[in-house]
Amino acid sequence: MALRTPYLMFLGDAPDQLAAKTAAGIAYWRPEMSRGQFRLPGCRADLGLPDMTIEAAAAAGIGTVIIGVANRGGFLGEGWEVPLVEALERGMDLASGLHRRLGEVPALRDAAARRGRNLIDVRHPTRDFAVASGVKRPGKRLLTVGTDCSCGKMFTALALEREMRSRGLDAEFRATGQTGIFIAGDGVSIDAVVADFIPGAVEWLSPAADPDHWDVIEGQGSLFHASYAGVSLGLLHGAQPDALVMCHEPTRTHMRGLRHFPVPDLALCIERNLEAARLTNPAVRCIGVSVNTDALDLGAARDFLRRTEDVLRLPCTDPVRTGVGPLVDRLSG
């Protein structure tokens, strides 16, 4: 279902900027569609968009309110129902990437039916998938992987697609999460697929293609994250990647949400991902590292990138500060 534009980003009571990564990603990659943000008291996220009440959003012609918060467990937060019902009553649609379906909330379901509005859940697949065959298919594939969750895999994949297309390469971003689907307009939210069918869903998402075509597949989670490693492994097997890009956030000391699990060593993480990916593509290689240095000043960021390059003997870039050109250079190397 196509979403009506423009969008109002619903941030609820997001505890930090990273919790609003869905809204932030849409606002960055689709600024022409992102008109404002709605925040509840206590919200600590800010997209830099105009703050709007639901009433003001309706007057401004907002078509869809997007629930832009990615919270642990994927549920509607306390206090969210009232403004979301008001949005429906004032003629706006609701779209969500949360695990809980909007239609499972009686107040939202009833308001949508009463006002003839749409409830759109992009996280939930609308088709079935076959079990993966593991048979190598034509075309080329790049998969972004990570030392942790929420460390830049989607952003890196989109930046790579843009850089590749600017060079005349035939490349297409393949979304595997709710934010990517909002940005691309289609895709499969892999973490909502039944476990046995995850690799098969990736085979469907990135089908056989011309020999020179690149699918740039958005990664999810991390092989080292106890909560999400199963999805990460399924992606590695189904993507049959020819190239991996490791994504990393250098200031973290533990996995997001798991204080008792330290962030893994970069070299070890690269080797484990290559080892897993070789099951379906023995020729896979890591072409470099994408580092989110936003928490570092410019000098510290440059030092980290340089030191990491020296240790790993791979290009290390920040897709915002230095671009992904050195990574794309390696695709023909």
> Would you state the pLDDT for residue 2?
73
Tokens of 257: 């949400």
Superfamily of the domain at 7-121: NAD(P)-binding Rossmann-like Domain (3.40.50.720)
Exposed e or buried b per residue across 79-111, where buried means at least 16 C-beta atoms within 10 angstroms of its C-beta: ebeebbbbbbebebbbbbbbbeebeebeebeeb
> Would you state the pLDDT for residue 219?
98
Tokens of 332: 């023909």
Confidence class of residue 74 from pLDDT cuts 50, 70 and 90? low
Tokens of 130: 């076959």
Domain ranges for the chain, please list them. Answer: 7-121, 140-332
> What pLDDT, in 10s, does the model give residues 294-304?
999 999 999 99
Residue bearing the bigger pLDDT, 147 or 73: 147
- What gap in Å lies between CA 141 and CA 144, rounded to an integer? 10
pTM, rounded to two decimals: 0.88
Helix ranges (H only) for 196-297 are 198-205, 229-239, 266-277
> Would you state the pLDDT for residue 123?
86
> Would you state the pLDDT for residue 135?
96
Residue with tokens 């023995």: 282
> What pLDDT, in 10s, does the model give residues 156-205?
999 999 999 999 999 999 999 988 999 988 899 999 999 999 999 999 99
**Which DSSP symbol is given to 190?**
G
> Is residue 71 pLDDT above 80, yes or no?
no
> Is residue 237 pLDDT above 90, yes or no?
yes
- What gap in Å lies between CA 28 and CA 21, rounded to an integer? 10
Contact 5, 62 (CB under 8 A): no
Closest among 45, 43, 19, 47 to 257, alpha carbons compared: 19
- What gap in Å lies between CA 51 and CA 27, rounded to an integer? 14
Tokens of 139: 């075309």
| CA distances from residue 228 to 4, 121, 258, 270 in whole angstroms, order as listed | 32, 21, 11, 17
**Class (C level, CATH) for 140-332:** alpha beta
> What pLDDT, in 10s, does the model give residues 39-62?
999 999 999 999 999 999 999 999
